[in-house]
Structure 1
């Protein structure tokens, strides 16, 4: 049997890592057809199918998963050794997707700490509410908003969040209102939030009015900024407005308010991503932040 060409193995590794022939071709500076030919040559040499097409993307077959798992760590070591001998500092890119609010209000302010602790990692942060299609998109890990029910993926709750009413201290002072008094103010709604004003009012024993003044936003970070700007009273997560609460930009105007406590942000990725050191490093950092009380 002839020796399996190293280039074909390397091409397969790029395709398996990105789950895309097109992206692998872009990295190599060749055509997608040339990449496909390399994969077909490798499959012929090994006598097994490594990839299967799904829509416009590709997925690994069972044999492909086993082969990728076997060569992945070695391929990364070869890359590091090659860069070192050429005098380049080895840099690994971690691609993280998170909701715009979590990205802006919690992750971005802490990202410098993570980078300082992991100088050989560079991070690409993709702030969007669109859930990742891990079969098509080169995303390593996502912090996803929702109910945590995504079969076939690794899912771990980030933290339990507490939702409380907040406003600018210029609009109403801390603890200056009874629960029912909030209906005398404009209520700020985050339309995609899992905690809504009717639920909070029911917990507080307040009958909502037939008509009320309100303003609606489709992003929580916009609702928080609107509350800080004196537009009205928002019902938001303490996780998302840690900076504003700490700085006194927003306060809870309600005396002894009922809390809505739920998990709305989840760490999500394919289980095979957990074998990558960069993903484990990021998840360990998130858990350490949670244990230290930085996520609350």
Structure 2
């Protein structure tokens, strides 16, 4: 039997993209041409490979098994073809993440990923807008929220600890009581899941009057404001790890209440996990997360 190479390549593109239309765009053909090639392959194999799922497609059990058997080989053929033509094979990975995580956590580490994988080109899209994976060409998102997004692969990024921080020029570590914080300007990240009005009751403090404050809609702005001595911020260890490690931020409260929350989640359609570039990125991300967890103290230094 003659091997239907064209139909196999079209099926691989459609399964990887999770969409007939996106596969057609990638291959520069019409959606009907993609469908015809997949039907041809299904006829030769005698099994159904794809089924409709909402506005996209889903692999059948047979399709899952077939894709898992051919995916690595086809990607190796693509890389070899690019190399023999004299071009460096480049794979583009598009990652969407919240602005603060992009700026404070991903960006300082991204060079390690690029140095390890010279054939990987990364586009980092820093925004709080959740991805519509049916409409947007995003491979992986690190999303802010509560982790409840049915139908998607969801994995927690890391458990974060929230506590008050300020510049060491503003106040010394462990020098203030929770009650005394009310005498200072408090920096607010308005979209954060940890807020001063919920932190004070945990610290056993009942504010009697409205406190002085400055508000930012991005946590990285609140962190930078605290570093500049503008006041005291309530922020996440995941976002301000470098500032804490370098001593640019300290905790002015000796024994702050323990507030631990997961606010950042790794999110993507489950069929994206079949893509080599996505698996590579997630493996790297998990390694970086583990290194951060091992290196970071579980409690703030009190001085």
TM-score by length of 1: 0.84
Q: Is the 8 A contact 1:19 1:58 kept in 2?
A: yes
Compare 133-142 and 241-250 and name the one that shifted more.
133-142
Shift in CA distance, 135/70, structure 1 to aligned 2, threshold 3 Å: farther
Q: Report the aligned-residue RMSD.
A: 2.9
For structure 2, the 5+ residue unaligned runs are 297-303
Query: Structure 2: how far apart are the matches of 1:130 and 1:3?
Result: 48
Aligned position for 1:250: 249
Query: Structure 1: how far apart are the matches of 2:271 and 2:56?
Result: 18
SS at match of 1:212: coil
CA shift, 1:54, in A, is 4.5
TM-score by length of 2: 0.82
Compare 84-93 and 231-240 and name the one that shifted more.
84-93
Q: Is the 8 A contact 2:82 2:89 kept in 1?
A: yes
Q: Is the 8 A contact 1:161 1:261 kept in 2?
A: yes
Aligned position for 2:144: 145
Query: Structure 2: how far apart are the matches of 1:56 and 1:148?
Result: 23
Shift in CA distance, 62/80, structure 1 to aligned 2, threshold 3 Å: same
CA shift, 1:183, in A, is 1.4
Q: Is the 8 A contact 1:186 1:214 kept in 2?
A: yes
Q: Is the 8 A contact 1:98 1:126 kept in 2?
A: yes
Aligned position for 1:159: 158
Query: Structure 2: how far apart are the matches of 1:76 and 1:234?
Result: 47
- Report matched runs for 1:99-248 at 5 Å: 99-134=98-133, 137-248=136-247
Aligned position for 1:292: 291
Q: Is the 8 A contact 1:51 1:59 kept in 2?
A: yes
Query: Structure 2: how far apart are the matches of 1:187 and 1:61?
Result: 54
Query: Structure 2: how far apart are the matches of 1:110 and 1:101?
Result: 14
Q: For each residue in 1:114-164, what CA deviation from the matched residue of structure 2 results, as whole angstroms up to 9, or x when unmatched? A: 211222322222323334444554443332323334455444333221111
Query: Structure 1: how far apart are the matches of 2:154 and 2:29?
Result: 36
Aligned position for 1:10: 9
Shift in CA distance, 206/192, structure 1 to aligned 2, threshold 3 Å: same
Query: Structure 2: how far apart are the matches of 1:68 and 1:293?
Result: 35
Aligned position for 1:263: 262
Aligned position for 2:65: 66
Aligned position for 1:19: 18
Q: For each residue in 1:56-94, what CA deviation from the matched residue of structure 2 results, as whole angstroms up to 9, or x when unmatched? A: 433334443333223212211211221222222333333
Q: Is the 8 A contact 2:167 2:228 kept in 1?
A: yes
For structure 1, the 5+ residue unaligned runs are none
Query: Structure 1: how far apart are the matches of 2:26 and 2:213?
Result: 49
Query: Structure 2: how far apart are the matches of 1:224 and 1:157?
Result: 23
Q: Is the 8 A contact 2:7 2:38 kept in 1?
A: yes
Shift in CA distance, 27/275, structure 1 to aligned 2, threshold 3 Å: closer
Aligned residues: 295
CA shift, 1:198, in A, is 2.2
Compare 259-268 and 136-145 and name the one that shifted more.
136-145
